[in-house]
Structure 1
Amino acid sequence: MLEKAITVMQPWVEKINELSHLKALKKAIVDLLPIFIAGCLILWINRYIKWNDIDQIGLLFCQVYPLFLVAAYGYHYAQEKQSSVIEIMVNDIIFMLLFRYLGNMSMQESCLIVLFFTFIFNSVFHINSKIPVIKSFFPQGAADYLHKIMLLCLNFVIMGVLIYIGLAFYPMLSLIVGGILGAVNSIYGILIVILITVFFWSTGMHGIAFISTLLRPFWLQMLMLNMSQLLMNQSPLYIGTEPFYQWFVWIGGSGTTLGLVMLMRCFSKSHHLRALGKGAFKSGWVNINEEVIFGTPIVMNKLMMIPFFLTPCICVIVSYIWIAQQPFLYPSFLSPWVFPFLLGGLISSGGVFQILILLICLFIISILVYLPFFLCYDKQLKKSEETGGAICTISE
């Protein structure tokens, strides 16, 4: 049954990941992440220094970041379509600035809606670029030049029409985006994301890569709004931002496997798991766990897949309920994913040391949930090693 599901889903996953607009946007977000993280680290340090000018710069950064994102997306989309990079980047920037100016709204609040219309505009731009060169009595060079000007004029007209439509339907679109953000931010939405992610991992596919392609734009907008609220000394709005997954769910990597690594390193009686635990110990603390997923293995292992699904779900429920009671603990800052989870969680919450209690509890939960399955699997591997058998994945 699982093999059939993989066969059916894998082509669809590959098609989604190869969509030009999503692929370009994903590359743009990844390219700009170091800038975003560096800004977050400075703002986090300033939570202790409390220099007001830095917070004001942070608010400005949140306002203009969508403009950088649109420009970077335009760059990668132009490369995908082998079009003029400068033309598409400039047109996309003009589109966002006009949308923001005519609609009298902040760029960060309208970011997702503008991106949607930018997708449409760039698709039309790409189609228009294929219109044959107008033949005339002008010399070829002059004809090509006039043809290009005419196409740009046509694209500006289309831009105006799309902006008009976007502003006319903005209230409705804003409600739709708000509903999506609310669903993504809810505990049920987060649990669905977790289950999809670990399902893909358990079948051998990169779960985070697929999910982030679809949800990272929404996570980014929620994060920017949270940062703005916190910098204005107001309560953040969203729990389910990307740092929530990074530091309160994926402790040690997808599947919350740091507890399993600790068990393998300290208590394993089988040679295979003990060696794996020693090798994966350092990488587990910086949230790299492919060695554990494929080396244990957890992939297609019916026994170890149970805690692989169960542990992150329990961590979601515990951390969501805990954080929901204290709005100023909402994950509002992005930090390097290779940080140890205690430091990453502390930064994400704005430097409130109280969050360390929750993170330690989550780590203990990961150990306790994996413990009975680890003992059973370790016992079977030990027996298999003693009899000279192969590693048993219990996938039959």
Structure 2
Amino acid sequence: MLEKGMPMLQFYVEKVNDLKHLKALKKAIVDLLPEFIAGCLILWINRYIKWESIDQAGLLLCQLYPLFLIAAYGYHYAQDAQCSVVEIITYDISFMLLFSYLGNVSLLEGCLSILFFTFILNSFLHVSSKVPSIKGVLPQGAGDYLHKIVLLCLNFIIMAVIIYCGVSIYPMLLMLINGIYFAINSIYGILIVVLITVFFWSTGMHGVAFISTLLRPFWLQMLMLNMSNLLGNQSPLYIGTEPFYQWHVWIGGSGTTLGLVILMRCFSKSNHLRALGKAAIKSGWVNINEQIIFGTPIVMNKVMMIPFFLTPCLCAIVSYIWIFPHSLLYPSFLSPWVFPFLLGGFISSGGTLKILILLIVLFIISIIVYLPFFIYYDKQLKKSEETGGAACIMQE
């Protein structure tokens, strides 16, 4: 039943990933991440230098982020839809600025709402571009020029209608988006995200790639609001940003597998796991664990799938309980995902020493949870190696 269901599930996942607007937005976020990470590292260093001009530049970065995002999105959408890149970017930036001005909407707080209406605008612009040109009535040059003017007028009318309707329903859409923030910021929402991610990994699909397509716009928006508040000497609002998962849940990669790598490297008696631990130790410290997921294997492995699900859930719960009462510990800065977890978590929290204690506790939890399953699986593999058998341990 599972084997029959997986191709169908993968089909729908691919369908979601191929949606033009979501794919363009995902590419835009990925393109902008290095610049945002570099900016966050500078702002983090400035937490110790305390140069006010740097913080002011950081606040400006937060305010301009929606414009950067919509320009990058427009570029990728235009390429995918085979439209004029310059025209789409111009329309999208003009739309965002006009919507913000006429609706008295903050660019930062209203970023996702305006993006939603931009999706609608670009869909209509794509349709309007198919309007046939006037042929045979005027010379070609004059006909093309007139057709361009007619299209511009039509597109500005479409833009005006969408702005009018959008401003009217913006409060309701904002309530909906705030509800999504509340849901994915709660411990229940965080656990659902964790379970969905490890479920996809356990079936052989890239769990983070799928879930980030849907949630990364919300995660990044929540992070920018956190950073803006922190730089403005206010309390951050959200725990469930992407750095929370990266540094408090996915220690060593999805499934919190760094503890398992240490067990394999130091205590394995089977040749297979010991060799795998030696090979994966370097990549595990920089949060790359495909070797472990597919080499152990954890995929479709009834023994190792249990801690693969359990460990990140426990780490998420412990982290949430630890961080929730202290808003200054909320993840508010991006740091490179290839950093070791102690450094990455320390930076994302703004450089708070208390977070290091939590990260060490989480690492110990990952070792303890994986330990009994590792011992059992290692013994089974060792026995199989000694007898020269080819028993499929993962299906026992």
Per the normalisation by structure 2, the TM-score is 0.99
Deviations 1:27-55 (A, max 9, x none): 00000000010010011001111111111
Counterpart in 2 of 1:124? 124
Give 1:302's aligned amino acid: K
Indicate whether 1:262 and 2:262 are aligned: yes
Counterpart in 1 of 2:169? 169
The Cα of 1:104 is off from its aligned counterpart by 2.1
Counterpart in 2 of 1:335? 335
Deviations 1:308-354 (A, max 9, x none): 00000000000001000111000000000000000000000001111
Give me the whole-angstrom Cα distance separating, in 2, the residues matched to 1:48 and 1:101: 37
Give me the whole-angstrom Cα distance separating, in 1, the residues matched to 2:391 and 2:70: 49
Structural mapping, 1:31-50, within 5 Å = 31-50=31-50
Give me the whole-angstrom Cα distance separating, in 2, the residues matched to 1:136 and 1:113: 44
Counterpart in 2 of 1:79? 79
Indicate whether 1:202 and 2:202 are aligned: yes
Counterpart in 1 of 2:21? 21
Shift in alpha-carbon separation, 1:67–1:393, aligned structure 2, 3 A: farther
Please give the secondary structure, in 2, of the residue aligned with 1:68. Answer: helix
Counterpart in 1 of 2:227? 227
Give 1:281's aligned amino acid: I
Counterpart in 2 of 1:111? 111
- Name whichever of 147-156 and 56-65 sits farther off: 147-156
The Cα of 1:219 is off from its aligned counterpart by 0.4
Deviations 1:144-194 (A, max 9, x none): 121122112111111111111111111111111100111011110110111
Deviations 1:113-165 (A, max 9, x none): 01100000000001111111123521112111211221121111111111111
Shift in alpha-carbon separation, 1:296–1:274, aligned structure 2, 3 A: same
Q: What is the aligned length?
A: 396
Per the normalisation by structure 1, the TM-score is 0.99
Indicate whether 1:357 and 2:357 are aligned: yes
Counterpart in 1 of 2:12? 12
Give 1:383's aligned amino acid: K
Verify the 8 A CA contact 2:283 2:289 in the aligned structure 1. yes
Verify the 8 A CA contact 1:113 1:174 in the aligned structure 2. yes
Please give the secondary structure, in 1, of the residue aligned with 2:211. Answer: helix
Give 2:70's aligned amino acid: V
Give me the whole-angstrom Cα distance separating, in 1, the residues matched to 2:344 and 2:18: 31
The Cα of 1:72 is off from its aligned counterpart by 0.4
Please give the secondary structure, in 2, of the residue aligned with 1:394. Answer: helix
Verify the 8 A CA contact 2:381 2:393 in the aligned structure 1. no
Shift in alpha-carbon separation, 1:383–1:176, aligned structure 2, 3 A: same
The Cα of 1:264 is off from its aligned counterpart by 0.2
Deviations 1:64-107 (A, max 9, x none): 01100000000000000111000001100001111111122221
Give me the whole-angstrom Cα distance separating, in 2, the residues matched to 1:157 and 1:321: 51
Please give the secondary structure, in 2, of the residue aligned with 1:127. Answer: helix
Indicate whether 1:294 and 2:278 are aligned: no
Counterpart in 1 of 2:143? 143
Give me the whole-angstrom Cα distance separating, in 1, the residues matched to 2:65 and 2:265: 43
Of all paired residues, the percent bearing the same amino acid is 77
Structural mapping, 1:54-73, within 5 Å = 54-73=54-73
Which structure 2 residue ranges, 5 or more long, are not aligned?
A: none
Counterpart in 2 of 1:183? 183
Give me the whole-angstrom Cα distance separating, in 2, the residues matched to 1:214 and 1:389: 44
Give me the whole-angstrom Cα distance separating, in 1, the residues matched to 2:111 and 2:136: 42
Give me the whole-angstrom Cα distance separating, in 1, the residues matched to 2:393 and 2:344: 33
Give me the whole-angstrom Cα distance separating, in 2, the residues matched to 1:136 and 1:33: 50
Indicate whether 1:153 and 2:146 are aligned: no
Please give the secondary structure, in 1, of the residue aligned with 2:395. Answer: coil
- Name whichever of 225-234 and 101-110 sits farther off: 101-110
Verify the 8 A CA contact 1:381 1:392 in the aligned structure 2. no
Give me the whole-angstrom Cα distance separating, in 2, the residues matched to 1:97 and 1:395: 57
The Cα of 1:394 is off from its aligned counterpart by 1.8
Give me the whole-angstrom Cα distance separating, in 1, the residues matched to 2:199 and 2:142: 58
Give 2:289's aligned amino acid: N
Verify the 8 A CA contact 1:384 1:392 in the aligned structure 2. no
Shift in alpha-carbon separation, 1:391–1:108, aligned structure 2, 3 A: farther
- Name whichever of 136-145 and 270-279 sits farther off: 136-145
Give me the whole-angstrom Cα distance separating, in 2, the residues matched to 1:300 and 1:314: 21
Give me the whole-angstrom Cα distance separating, in 2, the residues matched to 1:393 and 1:138: 77
Give me the whole-angstrom Cα distance separating, in 2, the residues matched to 1:14 and 1:185: 26
Give me the whole-angstrom Cα distance separating, in 2, the residues matched to 1:393 and 1:108: 52
Give me the whole-angstrom Cα distance separating, in 1, the residues matched to 2:103 and 2:59: 20
Counterpart in 2 of 1:245? 245
Cα root mean square deviation, aligned: 0.9
Counterpart in 2 of 1:218? 218
Counterpart in 2 of 1:395? 395
- Name whichever of 150-159 and 269-278 sits farther off: 150-159
The Cα of 1:391 is off from its aligned counterpart by 6.3
